[in-house]
Amino acid sequence: MKTLSACGAAALVLSAAVASAHHSFAAEFDANAPVVLKGTITKMEWINPHSWIHIDVKNPDGTVTEWMVEGGTPNTLFRRGFTRESVKAGMEITVEGYRAKNGANRANGRDLILKDGKRLFMGSSGTGAPIDGKE
């Protein structure tokens, strides 16, 4: 019985997760091409349907490559407590994500970590609001 309820719980969570997605991950990104990008934010596009974060990644030879990383939808990020003050040009960031299928310098952002170890778009509590002074 215990096992059955655990399965039920997992199924409930799963069905919520796949309820709706705006576009196909598989048509745009390669789940077998994980990338880790360390760079500086140059621009945050608060744009529908999904936000895009532009970062400059410094290569070992000193050159810089521009990347763009897909993030959450602006309405959602705002509801979770983020404003234009939360994501600013000049912030150093590490992005863990998946690269575009054609090898372009685009990625889907799975985890976005700031220099001090805090997660970008990650709140302090249920409301997920870093601006509410609780952090």
Partner 1 sequence: MRAAVVAIAAVLSVIPVGAQSKPKAPPYSAKTAWGDPDIQGVWDYKTITPLERPANFGDRQFLTDEEVKRLEANAAKRLNSPPDENSPQGLVHAPYMTDPGQKVDEDRRTSLIIDPPDGRIPPLTAEAQTRLASRRTGGRDGGTDGPENRGSLERCITWGLPTAILPGLYNNNIRILQGPGYVTITHEMVHDTRIVPLDGRPALSPKFQQWFGDSRGHWEGQTLVVETRNFSDKLPYRGSGSGMHMVERFTRTGKNTVEYQLTVDDPHTWTRPWTLSERMRTSEGELYEYACHEGNYAMHNMLEEARDGEKAAAKASVKGVSE
User: Where on the chain is the footprint of partner 1 (CB under 8 A)?
Assistant: 4-5, 7-9, 11-13, 15-17, 19-29, 31, 45, 47-50, 52, 70-80, 98, 100-102, 104, 106, 108-111, 113, 119, 121-123, 125-126, 128
Convert 16-54 to b/e letters by CB count within 10 Å (16 or more is b): eeeeeeeeeeeeebbeeeebebebbbbebebeeebbebb
Region class of 60: left (phi > 0), else alpha (psi between -120 and 50), else beta: alpha
Question: Residue 48 or residue 58: which is nearer to partner 1 going by CB?
Answer: 48
Q: Shortest approach of partner 1 to residue 63 CB, angstroms?
A: 23
Residue count of the chain: 135
Instruction: Check whether the bond before 49 is cis (ω within 30° of 0).
Output: yes
Question: Residue 46 or residue 56: which is nearer to partner 1 going by CB?
Answer: 46
Nearest to 75 by CA among 23, 133, 22: 22
Question: Residue 9 or residue 64: which is nearer to partner 1 going by CB?
Answer: 9
Q: Shortest approach of partner 1 to residue 25 CB, angstroms?
A: 5
Q: Shortest approach of partner 1 to residue 54 CB, angstroms?
A: 12
Q: Shortest approach of partner 1 to residue 71 CB, angstroms?
A: 6
